[in-house]
């Protein structure tokens, strides 16, 4: 079923304890669209890139049958650039550079062919732009999920609150949930998030898994212990892509199905961290994904007797 994905398309410079890269394809929409393309079609992307965005990187998206009609190309500006350095535990990182470039003046266009979409994933981007996309859709989608990060909490908190009030699911990590709500307890943080508007709160805990909250219910998905973790960049976006991809594929927005979506999101994210940039997300197969999902099921399964 149709899914619209909004977010940055970028070049990243990344340093982890295992290596360094000066320029690799990145961006929230890139990771989300690649991940969700394994579940549903069409994946309709809204983003903006600059003159420096390589045709070969556009082709990677096309190869995954991702619709790029809503991706603007600005010939007089550079693409969004982000640089981050991971600490030794790989669970935390410092942002070194955020150059908005084309994102600074981004006015999202919703192509006519995207109207009537059933699912909307608002990836990391200015909350003003995220809200504009909701407002420019003729009909409210069946489910709107959004991601954000500390950068937007620091510079656009009021706008962020306005956007959060309009969505069904907020997906953020533990550190961001604490910053947004001022609560250390993730349960309390989730309650506060749900009082801001969303019916569901997903709190990601890096290698320690993810929590899904809805009313008084909570579901915990484990993090899969991996032998190789090279680069966590994009894991959060990939999680969001797997999550919304599963929801769009099944068309079911019940709490029980969102639990499964959290596991699919976690499984896709577990691939993402195994290589630098989005490389590991290219050329997966449904069988490989299903095998990984079953590892999550076995990991958390136990009998009391
Ligand atoms: P994640 O590791 O899931 O938090 O996502 C990392 C990706 O988000 C990188 O590929 C960046 O290009 C992108 N990114 C980082 N900061 C921002 C921002 N302020 N707005 C939009 N995208 C961003």
Task: Give me the CATH code for the 3-300 domain, please.
Answer: 3.40.1190.20
Which among 9, 22, 28, 83 is the best mutation to test ligand 1's pocket, defined by most ligand atoms within 8 Å of the CB? 28
Nearest-CA residue for atom 16 of ligand 1:
82
Ligand 1 centroid distance, CA of 302 (Å): 36
Which among 5, 234, 277 is the best mutation to test ligand 1's pocket, defined by most ligand atoms within 8 Å of the CB? 234
Residue ranges of the domains in the chain? 3-300
For the chain, the three-class secondary structure string (H helix, E strand, C coil) is CCEEEECCCEEEEEEECCEEEEEEEECHHHHHHHHHCCCCCCEEEEEEEECCCCHHHHHHHHHCCEEEEEEEEECCCCCEEEEEEECCCCCCEEEEEEECHHHHHCCCCCCHHHCCCCEEEECCCCHHHHHHHHHHCCCCCCEEEEECCHHHHHHCHHHHHHHHCCCCEEEEEHHHHHHHHCCCCHHHHHHHHHHCCCCEEEEECHHHCEEEEECCEEEEECCCCCCCCCCCCCHHHHHHHHHHHHHHHHCCCCHHHHHHHHHHHHHHHHHHCCCCCCHHHCCCCHHHHHHHHHHHHHHHCCCCC
Q: Is 151 in the pocket of ligand 1 (CB under 6 A)?
A: yes
pLDDT in tens, 103-161: 999 999 999 999 999 999 999 999 999 999 999 999 999 999 999 999 999 999 999 99
pLDDT band for position 88 (50/70/90)?
confident
Token digits of residue 9: 């398309």
Work out the average pLDDT over 3-21.
Answer: 95
- pLDDT, residue 140, reads 97
Work out the average pLDDT over 226-238.
Answer: 93
Work out the average pLDDT over 203-225.
Answer: 96
Q: Is 21 in the pocket of ligand 1 (CB under 6 A)?
A: no
pLDDT at 1 exceeding the cut of 80: no
Average pLDDT of the chain is 96
Which residues are 85's β-sheet partners? 15, 94
Pick the closest to residue 27 from 80, 84, 65 (CA basis).
80
Token digits of residue 219: 């579901």
Which among 6, 7, 10 is the best mutation to test ligand 1's pocket, defined by most ligand atoms within 8 Å of the CB? 10
More confident residue, 48 or 89: 48
Ligand 1 centroid distance, CA of 143 (Å): 23
pLDDT at 279 exceeding the cut of 90: yes
Work out the average pLDDT over 221-236.
Answer: 93
pTM: 0.97
Q: Is 125 in the pocket of ligand 1 (CB under 6 A)?
A: yes
pLDDT at 90 exceeding the cut of 90: no
Nearest-CA residue for atom 6 of ligand 1:
234
pLDDT at 96 exceeding the cut of 80: yes
On whether the CB atoms of residues 300 and 221 are closer than 8 A, the answer is yes
- pLDDT, residue 256, reads 98
pLDDT band for position 92 (50/70/90)?
confident
Q: Is 34 in the pocket of ligand 1 (CB under 6 A)?
A: no
pLDDT band for position 91 (50/70/90)?
confident
More confident residue, 32 or 207: 32
Ligand 1 centroid distance, CA of 90 (Å): 16
- pLDDT, residue 89, reads 82
- pLDDT, residue 98, reads 94
Which among 154, 233, 236, 269 is the best mutation to test ligand 1's pocket, defined by most ligand atoms within 8 Å of the CB? 233
pLDDT at 27 exceeding the cut of 80: yes
| CB count in 10 Å sphere of residue 173 | 22
Work out the average pLDDT over 237-247.
Answer: 98
- pLDDT, residue 228, reads 86
pLDDT in tens, 158-198: 999 999 999 999 999 999 999 999 999 999 999 999 999 99
Q: Is 281 in the pocket of ligand 1 (CB under 6 A)?
A: no
């Amino acid at each position: 079923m149709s899914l619209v994905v909004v977010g940055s398309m970028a070049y990243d410079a990344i340093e982890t304890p295992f290596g360094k890269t000066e320029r690799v394809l990145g961006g929230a929409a890139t990771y989300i669209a690649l991940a969700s393309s394994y579940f549903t079609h069409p994946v309709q992307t809204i983003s903006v890139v600059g003159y420096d965005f390589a045709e070969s990187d556009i082709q990677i998206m096309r190869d995954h049958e991702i619709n790029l009609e809503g991706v603007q190309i600005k010939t007089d500006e550079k693409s969004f650039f982000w640089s981050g350095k991971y600490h030794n535990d790989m669970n935390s990182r410092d942002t070194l550079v955020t150059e908005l470039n084309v994102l600074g003046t981004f006015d999202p266009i919703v192509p006519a062919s995207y109207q009537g979409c059933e699912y909307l994933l608002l990836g990391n981007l200015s909350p003003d732009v995220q809200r504009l996309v909701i407002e420019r859709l003729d009909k409210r989608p069946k489910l709107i999920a959004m991601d954000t990060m500390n950068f937007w909490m620091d510079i656009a908190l009021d706008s962020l609150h306005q956007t959060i009030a309009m969505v069904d699911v907020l997906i953020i990590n533990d550190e961001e949930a604490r910053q947004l709500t001022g609560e250390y307890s993730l349960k309390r943080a989730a309650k506060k998030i749900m009082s801001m508007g969303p019916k569901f709160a997903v709190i990601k805990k890096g290698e320690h898994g993810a929590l899904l909250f809805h009313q008084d219910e909570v579901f915990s998905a484990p993090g899969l212990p991996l032998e190789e973790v090279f680069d966590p960049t994009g894991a959060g976006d990939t999680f969001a892509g797997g999550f919304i991809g599963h929801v769009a594929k099944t068309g079911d927005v019940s709490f029980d199905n969102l639990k499964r979506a959290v596991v699919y999101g976690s499984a896709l994210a577990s691939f993402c961290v195994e290589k630098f940039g989005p490389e590991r997300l290219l050329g997966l197969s449904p069988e490989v994904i299903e095998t990984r999902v079953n590892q999550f099921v076995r990991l958390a399964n136990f009998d009391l007797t």
